């Protein structure tokens, strides 16, 4: 099984058959449309701005920059104020809960747009840049937090999706009820806010064993490259 990540788990939840084509048989690439390419380009510009590097910001995207500037300014003030700030941070853990290198991890890895640890190391902040209208799933922030446990511990997080096209932010408070997602038993998560996430992780692990990947039609069928009767619908 390849390590879980927020994006591949989201793809599995959307359509297991499509996940299989991308990550198991590797017969298709992750689909990319114009909106995704724009999102990647803006992520790259925001990464450079947060790192205080020169940015060749596209003229037609100045509205995004104007909206994000106060957040970028706050991130710079945190850096000046002694916070540990990681931009485009790659965090990875093994199934035994130990910290792992990105390519060595056997359980979980997540790329985090901005992660900031307080000088007292007792709380942390996360930001995720979002283009377009597709809503973020707060499970992404739980996965980010689980992937940071070996580095920062199971501290509380405040996390924000920054919907820069919609000019709004959405805040989530993240508290981990356990430290290692790989080892958690059913009694730990049944009925908790983490139930959908842990069930998805459990189902994905089982699918790698049983090789059962059902087709699940969804709005992504329009861009899907799989050989599937729902493709393009
Ligand atoms: S076309 Fe739709 S149902 Fe078929 S594999 Fe792709 S996403 Fe899944």
pLDDT tens for each residue of 38-88: 999 999 999 999 999 999 899 999 999 999 999 999 999 999 999 999 999
User: What pLDDT score was predicted for residue 75?
Assistant: 98
User: What pLDDT score was predicted for residue 61?
Assistant: 94
Q: Is residue 188 part of a domain?
A: no
Query: Does the pLDDT value for residue 226 go beyond 80?
Result: yes
Whole-model pTM? 0.93
Q: What is the CATH number of the domain that holds 143?
A: 3.40.1350
Q: Is residue 54 part of a domain?
A: yes
User: What pLDDT score was predicted for residue 183?
Assistant: 85
Q: Is residue 190 part of a domain?
A: no
How many angstroms separate the CA atoms of 78 and 134, rounded? 29
Q: Is residue 46 part of a domain?
A: yes
- Does 221 contact ligand 1 (Cβ within 6 A)? yes
Q: Is residue 151 part of a domain?
A: yes
Query: Does the pLDDT value for residue 185 go beyond 80?
Result: no
Minimal-distance CA residue to ligand 1 atom 7:
221
**Span 9-26, average pLDDT:** 96
Give the total number of structural domains in the chain. 1
Greater pLDDT, 222 or 18: 18
Q: Is residue 121 part of a domain?
A: yes
**Span 99-123, average pLDDT:** 97
Greater pLDDT, 232 or 229: 229
Query: Does the pLDDT value for residue 186 go beyond 80?
Result: no
Q: Which residues, listed in sequence order, are joined to residue 159 by a DSSP beta bridge?
A: 126, 172
Which atom of ligand 1 is closest in space to residue 224's alpha carbon?
6
User: What pLDDT score was predicted for residue 178?
Assistant: 86
By residue range, what is the domain housing residue 127?
Answer: 32-88+113-177
pLDDT in tens, 25-49: 999 988 778 988 999 999 999 999 9
- Does 220 contact ligand 1 (Cβ within 6 A)? yes
Minimal-distance CA residue to ligand 1 atom 2:
221
- Does 31 contact ligand 1 (Cβ within 6 A)? no
Q: Is residue 170 part of a domain?
A: yes
Minimal-distance CA residue to ligand 1 atom 5:
18
Through-space distance between the first and last CA atoms of the chain, rounded to whole angstroms: 30
Q: Cβ of 173: how many Cβ atoms within 10 Å?
A: 10
User: What pLDDT score was predicted for residue 189?
Assistant: 75
Q: Is residue 199 part of a domain?
A: no
Contacting residues for 14 by C-beta, under 8 A, at least 6 apart: 216, 218, 220
Q: pLDDT band for position 14 (50/70/90)? A: very high
């Amino acid at each position: 099984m390849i390590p879980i990540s927020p994006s591949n788990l989201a793809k599995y939840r959307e359509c297991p058959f499509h996940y299989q084509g991308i990550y198991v048989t590797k017969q298709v690439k992750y689909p990319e449309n114009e909106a995704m390419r724009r999102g990647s380009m803006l992520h790259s510009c925001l990464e450079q701005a947060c790192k205080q590097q020169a940015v060749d910001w596209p003229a037609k995207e100045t509205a995004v920059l104007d909206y994000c500037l106060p957040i970028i300014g706050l991130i710079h003030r945190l850096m000046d104020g002694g916070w540990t700030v990681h931009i485009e941070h790659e965090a990875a853990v093994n199934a035994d809960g130990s910290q792992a290198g990105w390519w060595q991890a056997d359980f979980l890895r997540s790329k985090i747009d901005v992660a900031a640890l307080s000088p007292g190391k007792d709380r942390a902040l996360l930001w995720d840049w979002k283009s377009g209208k597709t809503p973020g799933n707060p499970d992404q922030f739980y996965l980010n937090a689980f992937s940071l446990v070996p580095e920062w511990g199971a501290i509380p997080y405040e996390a924000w999706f920054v919907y820069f096209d919609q000019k709004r932010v959405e805040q989530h408070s993240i508290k981990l009820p356990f430290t290692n997602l790989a080892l958690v038993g059913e009694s730990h998560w049944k009925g908790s806010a983490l139930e959908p996430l842990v069930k998805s992780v459990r189902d994905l692990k089982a699918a790698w064993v049983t090789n059962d990947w059902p087709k699940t039609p969804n709005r992504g069928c329009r861009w899907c490259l799989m050989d599937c009767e729902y493709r393009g619908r």
